[in-house]
Amino acid sequence: MNKIYSKIAILLVIVSIIIINNNLKAQSGLNATFNSTANSYIDFGRGQNLGCITDLPNGNKMTITMWIKWGSKTAAGVSSWSNMFTLADSSGNGDNGVFWLQHNSANSLFEFALQTQNGRSFIYSTTNPSEGTWYHIACVYDGSLANNNMKLYVNGVQESSCNKSGNIAAFSNVSKLNMGRWANSNGNYRRFNGIIDEVSIWKTALTSAEINTLKNNPNTVLGQSYNATGLIGYWNFDNGTANDLCACHNNGIIGTTVVLPIELVGFNAKVNENQVDISWITASEINNNYFTIERSANGKEFEKIGTVNGSGNSNNILEYSFTDNNPIQGISYYRLRQTDFDGKTTVSDLKSVNIDNENNQIVKVYPNPSNGNNVQISIKNDTDQISFLQIYDYSGKIILSSKIQGNTFIIPNNTLKTGLYSVKLATPTSILSSIISVVN
């Protein structure tokens, strides 16, 4: 018996965990589109009322990252020094700000500027951004370093740097944090025409490796609940708002001509006997042609299983549904792909289901999703047998480990944070797996 348990322990250590591939890169998720008109911007408020972001002047480190794509550099309203993200004076003129990410006067280079106690510095990219091309930008300042400590990265590659010193300058009572334009009327507000996505701001200096990981696999850097150390602002627009997803809650007010795609307020997949019922709700739709329902056995490779027509343009709450009559046995994953009339697509988060024959089901996890309830794990075995339970988060970290004797194990509500978890259960005869979707 000890040999059996030793083998089980080894298997639990080396077992492969199914990681949900949920990389929310700007090219595949919802985003914010700016059309360079008077009301095309997002306002996050005055500098002294920005919650966690006001911690920046207490230190000498910061990072800003985002994805951007130019729409048209010659569109009406586009200005020189076209602006993406700025904390600047909202009443004066000129370059009177604490930090900004914008372009040079010809909109041919990216510009990062930062004001510290020891003055302001500017650095520029070598990349000349083209219309219709996505770029990942990262601006870093680390005042604890002596040299080359203010840096600008494009697509994960450092393109420029300079020497900088001092703590970040204090925010004035007239400074404002804006996206898509400058905060004052100088230069026609320096309006931008294009798309911005996955914006983050940190009070730490991210390394080159962290920037590249954030670009390619953001959740591993941001944290499961957007709670990474030093993260003080994160906006991905995936819920159709400019709400800050980290604990600081610096929510933006969207100008009337900032275009967000469909506002998806609900997407669910539920087992109904031997079929899976898929439903979703939109609060608004812009240029929406149709939805594609996609399915996967591993959360990575997806197949199309059906389409549902969209409603074009709508400001009403609309409900949609689709039934998968031939679902995959065991654990499978569903997602929703929305396609505009111009061919652009956005992809939803994943939903997992588990189809099992009730009579042959050895381990059951209920309710799943948890929806704020205790999670019960039921095992079909002899009550005197001992099983070993381990629960992993999406990164493969063990969150909970326990020895079970009997048929039932209860995970109290709030033991696990909201998210997807892999469950591994080792019995004397087998190793079983399942997925828990925790919703607190």
**Coil vs helix vs strand at 143:** coil
Give the integer Cα–Cα distance in Å for 90 and 231.
Answer: 25
Is 76 in contact with 36 (CB distance < 8 Å)?
Answer: yes
- What confidence tier does 23 reach under pLDDT thresholds 50, 70, 90? very low
Alpha-carbon distance values, 282 to 137, 243, 291, 307, 322 (Å): 31, 18, 12, 16, 15
Q: Which pLDDT value is given to residue 166?
A: 95
**How many CB atoms are located within 10 Å of the residue 402 CB?**
12
Task: Report CA 57 to chain centroid distance, whole Å.
Answer: 26
Is 296 in contact with 302 (CB distance < 8 Å)?
Answer: yes
User: What domains can you pick out in the chain, each with its CATH number?
Assistant: 2-20+357-438 (2.60.40.3080), 32-254 (2.60.120.200), 263-349 (2.60.40.10)
pLDDT at 157 over 90: yes
Q: Which pLDDT value is given to residue 28?
A: 46
What lies within 8 Å, CB to CB, of 345 at 6+ separation is 28, 337, 338, 339
Of the candidates 334, 313, 332, the one whose C-alpha atom is nearest the C-alpha of residue 322 is: 334
Which residue, chain included where needed, has tokens 């941001």? Answer: 222
Q: Which pLDDT value is given to residue 92?
A: 62
Q: Which pLDDT value is given to residue 29?
A: 55
For range 413-432, the mean pLDDT: 74
Both tokens of residue 55?
């911690």
For range 56-63, the mean pLDDT: 95
Both tokens of residue 146?
């002596």
What lies within 8 Å, CB to CB, of 5 at 6+ separation is 388, 428
- What confidence tier does 126 reach under pLDDT thresholds 50, 70, 90? very high
pLDDT at 24 over 50: no
Give the integer Cα–Cα distance in Å for 99 and 139.
Answer: 10
Give the integer Cα–Cα distance in Å for 404 and 297.
Answer: 29
**How many CB atoms are located within 10 Å of the residue 343 CB?**
7
pLDDT at 440 over 70: no
Give the integer Cα–Cα distance in Å for 407 and 423.
Answer: 16
- What confidence tier does 274 reach under pLDDT thresholds 50, 70, 90? confident
**How many CB atoms are located within 10 Å of the residue 300 CB?**
11
Give the integer Cα–Cα distance in Å for 329 and 345.
Answer: 29
Round the CA-based radius of gyration of the chain to a whole number and report it: 25
Q: Which pLDDT value is given to residue 115?
A: 94
Is 93 in contact with 184 (CB distance < 8 Å)?
Answer: yes
Both tokens of residue 355?
């189809």
**How many CB atoms are located within 10 Å of the residue 359 CB?**
6
Is 137 in contact with 66 (CB distance < 8 Å)?
Answer: yes
**In the chain, % of residues over pLDDT 90:** 38
CA torsion 283→297→212→35, rounded to 10°? -20
Q: Which pLDDT value is given to residue 258?
A: 62
